[in-house]
Amino acid sequence: MLFRIKSFFNLKTKAKYGLPLVLMALITSQTNAQDNRSFQIFQFPANKIPTIDGNSEDWKIVPENYIVGMDQLWDDSGKQPKADPKNLAVSVKIGWVKGLNRLYFLYEAYDDYWDFSLPGLHNDTFELIVDADQSGGPFIDRFHPNPNLTNTMDAYFSYHGVHAQNYHIFTPAVEKDWTMVWGSQPWIKNLPYANASYKYDFKPGQGGKLTLEFWITPFDYAGNNPSRAVESILEENKNIGLCWAIIDYDDVNKTENNGFWNLSKEHKMYGNASYSLPFKLMPLEKQYKKEIDAKWSFKVVNMAKREVAFVDESEGEITSWNWDFGDGTTSTEQNPIHQYKEAGKYVVILKIQGPKGISQLSKVWDVAVK
């Protein structure tokens, strides 16, 4: 980093602007580069998936250490030197469910002046950036790396929002769709890719509390044609890139906002996924996990030879495995490959044992060969 600063601020630059400016640039670069914050995404048990109804009851099981509050945000517009809970107070919780490529959000906010009476972008907003595969880099048309495509419709349709997504979520949305997807893929805000619900009791210009509950589907590739889209695969212990800003309006007659409360230290995070922050998809909390739990999957590796590979996915401390392949044969290997002599549909059982007890799982006729 020092080499880059020295290269940029050569002797002529120093002579023209002086040493203080050089030091200021160095300090600014260090501040932005040294943002080592990371956050966590709560894993909901499969039997406790939140209902999207604007009610926060389902989220009470999420520990407080998962909350991202105003203490993590800063107003990079410079209009608000520090957060004032009498003016604006926001908390965000994020969840996921193993096996579903969905991100669940609970957005709770108090504002002393809710501005949402106009039909356009002048609306209190939760602007969310999603880069689930952490590919990074610019992703809006005005930042296109090819200067010939900057701010063109070609860039909009082929590039804007494709590898990372930007949601302008209106808080609340009245007589308008719940969010504007900033890009050429508005289909991602509708079912079966997203859903949202609000709860509030204030009118435009009044203060009060808003609860917004929603889920979205992250995409590694999301162009204007949904048939070509590639969903992001959410996996336990994986980091994904997220960021957001709260755009707060306090006067319907003023075109400028009253604050841009940013989670990132870089203002342009709204169009550059490199400025997002890592959020870890956490395992289940201990109280929702069995001490020993048999789980397994399989794959037919050669149908002509009736060869099936079995994969142990059990959880807990395990000392022994016992497979019953349903054809009168067994194995004590953890991940066996079995060859069936005859075609058929089989009941396969995995029994595991460890210091905490015994568990088994059978699957009826899942394994079938011909």
Q: Are the CB atoms for 217 and 228 separated by under 8 Å? A: no
pLDDT for 23-61, tens place per residue?
344 334 333 444 899 999 999 999 999 999 999 999 999
- Distance of alpha carbon 316 from its chain centroid, rounded? 27
- What pLDDT is stored for residue 16 in this prediction? 38
Q: Which of 1-15, 44-58, 174-188 has the lowest mean pLDDT?
A: 1-15
Same fold, 36-281 and 290-369: yes
| Count of residues making up the chain | 370
Task: Give 252's pLDDT tier (boundaries 50, 70, 90).
Answer: confident
Looking at the predicted structure, is the pLDDT value of residue 88 above 50?
A: yes
Average pLDDT over residues 150-155: 95
- What pLDDT is stored for residue 290 in this prediction? 94
Looking at the predicted structure, is the pLDDT value of residue 2 above 60?
A: no
Task: Give 125's pLDDT tier (boundaries 50, 70, 90).
Answer: very high
Average pLDDT over residues 74-91: 95
What is the pLDDT of the chain when averaged over all its residues?
91
Average pLDDT over residues 88-97: 98
Average pLDDT over residues 15-22: 40
Q: In sequence order, which residues have a C-beta less than 8 Å from that of residue 265 and are 6 or more positions away?
A: 31, 32, 35, 74, 275
Overall fold of domain 36-281 = Immunoglobulin-like (2.60.40)
Overall fold of domain 290-369 = Immunoglobulin-like (2.60.40)
Looking at the predicted structure, is the pLDDT value of residue 100 above 80?
A: yes
Tell me the percentage of the chain whose pLDDT exceeds 70: 91
Average pLDDT over residues 281-290: 96
Average pLDDT over residues 313-321: 97
Domain layout of the chain by residue ranges: 1-34, 36-281, 290-369
